[in-house]
Amino acid sequence: MAQALDVTSIRARVAELLAEYRIPSAAIGVLHGGEITDFAVGVKSIITRDPATSGTIYQCGSVSKTWTALAFMQLVDEGKVALDEPVRTYLPDFRVADPDVSARVTPRHLLNHTHGIEEDYGDPGEDDDVYERMVRNIAGARQVHPLGHTHGYSAALGYAILARVMEVIDGKRWDDIMKDRLFDPMGLTSTSSRREHVHQDRAATGHLVRSLEEGAVLSPLGHLPRSFGPGGNVSTTASDLLTMAYVFLNEGKAPNGTGIVSPGIIREMTESRVPIPDPYMFGPEWALGLIVCDWYGQTVYAHDGSAVSQSARLRILPESNIAVSMLANAGPRDGFYRRVFNEILADLGAATIPDLPEPDPTLALDLSRYEGSYERPGTRYEVVAEDGRLHLRFSLNPMEAQLLDRPEQLDHELLQISETHFLMPSDDPLEDPQTVAIYDFENGAAQYLHTNCRVNPRAREEGGTVPVMAVSTVSDSNGFWDSLKKAYGRLPQGARWTLAVSSTDGTKAVNVIVHDSIDDVRNFLEEHTGAFATTDYFEADAANAVGLPTR
């Protein structure tokens, strides 16, 4: 007989944890023995104080990828697309910077995040042709790593390419495909792929938690751009999310008896796997639209999501015939999710989430093998050895740091777990411990740093040395800063964005970017902000700026 869930006790515990983490609300769903139990605790918004309910709709972020993968695999099931055929079979004009990748990348590479194409798709806008534009815009996109060489999470691009393939094959827009292929057949009236379609009186509001003392504050950013749609823009309820999980536990059938995909497709989605360089934070393998976890010998399928101050967690335990979902209007906080889910799973007598590994101080590592810079556009990590200890240093996007009220420069010690894995603890109560992989040694030096599922290759060239100050007279403040946020992710290789400030009235802005030349910075910023400001450019070397002699 299935062990019953003590909902009263779990609700009380969730309320305690919400207060501890300062998260306004969470909706929880448990699929057990074929039946869904769902409830919500907290408020949809700290302003209205309206209570969250089981019908409250949250943005599920990257859990959208599992929805998109399932719909794509319907096309595989119908014989309309093949996982190992080149993308060019369906998109003849598909092209990236590497001709070999252009010709050989497949849907399987996109589904399991091994394509290695940089997310360099510009601003494709918010119109119905957004995914067509994204594919067209990546003609010059470089490789972060060789095709199929390693796993490196693609936040938006990989699944946008899949969406464009779906559009060409089905002759519809991706949003309509999702409704016609999944949401309607499953009977999901609370799930949609466009924020405009969400019942606003049922929608949760996103919040930031910048300090435990301040608590939750409304997020100034309400949603992700439409470019993230297939990879991040599905909104749903905890119960609807479990309806999708039901398909994986029941050989492709929805709770209403509708066949979504065949049993063979479910096996393909769960059994086609690639290793994740960091096996501890999420799981040791990535399947087709799902993370594969190992909980004390039990296989668990999962996906996480974060969508501008809302977060989602889904765990599917086939051996126990259980799935658990959680949606929250702040986060993500890994500690919160682990504590809530472990309470539920323990109550049901199921496997619980393993702790992160403990460091092994007995390991004698040559720290010089890990030292160096690891980067991709918009992100740069420095691994430095000091006094026999390894440190990871990185800079936040200046605008992100300001939004979160965090320092721009962060420094974390890396504690060795193995030759290639490290624990990264934090003394900040808002940060959970993480794990980091530094691996793939060549000529005695690690070639990649993998953290939060993102892969960053060792920098191949020296970073820029010319600090360039851009002083802008802004005509459209919102357009200017929105464009800069998007531009940050497209910084030229080796560039560092060290300052971004605005005058109180928003009419003046100063940005400092360190790169190889003033002309490169001028071209970069004019491309992104020229429509919103008039900008003058100066070499911003501090000594020159104040007339001091240089040495």
Domain with CATH 2.40.128.50 in the chain: 367-457
CA distances from 39 to 1, 34, 386 (A): 23, 17, 49
**Rounded Cα gap, residues 78 and 259, in angstroms:** 13
Residue 418 carries which side chain, given as an amino acid letter? S
- E strands in 404-540: 409-416, 421-424, 434-442, 445-451, 454-457, 466-474, 496-502, 508-515, 533-539
Domain with CATH 3.40.710.10 in the chain: 7-60+198-228+235-348
Here the tokens at position 348 are: 């049901």
Q: Which pLDDT score is estimated for 232? A: 96
**Do β-strands 216-218 and 298-306 pair in parallel, antiparallel, or remain unpaired?**
unpaired
Q: Does domain 7-60+198-228+235-348 have CATH number 3.40.30.10?
A: no
Q: What is the pLDDT along the chain (551 residues), one digit of tens a residue?
A: 457 899 999 999 999 999 999 999 999 999 999 999 999 999 999 999 999 999 999 999 999 999 999 999 999 999 999 999 999 999 999 999 999 999 999 999 999 999 999 999 999 999 999 999 999 999 999 999 999 999 999 999 999 999 999 999 999 999 999 999 999 999 999 999 999 999 889 999 999 998 999 999 999 888 899 999 999 999 999 999 999 999 999 999 999 999 999 999 999 999 999 999 999 999 999 999 999 999 999 999 999 999 989 999 999 999 999 999 999 999 879 999 999 999 999 999 999 999 999 999 999 999 999 999 999 887 889 999 999 999 999 876 666 666 666 666 889 999 999 999 999 998 888 889 999 999 999 999 999 999 999 999 999 755 556 788 899 999 998 888 878 776 765 676 667 787 788 887 889 999 888 877 787 888 889 888 999 999 998 876 543 443 333 33
pTM of the entire structure?
0.85
- Please list the active-site residues: 62
Q: Is 411 helix (H, G, I), strand (E, B) or coil?
A: strand
Domain with CATH 3.30.70 in the chain: 467-539
Q: Which CATH number fits domain 467-539: 2.60.40, 3.30.420, 3.30.70, 3.40.720?
A: 3.30.70
Q: Which pLDDT score is estimated for 124? A: 96
Residue 143 carries which side chain, given as an amino acid letter? Q
**Do β-strands 379-386 and 25-32 pair in parallel, antiparallel, or remain unpaired?**
unpaired
Q: Which pLDDT score is estimated for 58? A: 98
**Rounded Cα gap, residues 265 and 70, in angstroms:** 9
Alpha helices, DSSP H only, in 47-193? 64-77, 99-104, 107-111, 130-137, 157-170, 174-178
Q: Which pLDDT score is estimated for 519? A: 79
Q: Which pLDDT score is estimated for 490? A: 66
Assess contact for 39 and 340: CB atoms under 8 A: no
Q: Which CATH number applies to 367-457?
A: 2.40.128.50
Before 425, cis peptide (omega within 30)? no
Q: Which pLDDT score is estimated for 546? A: 37
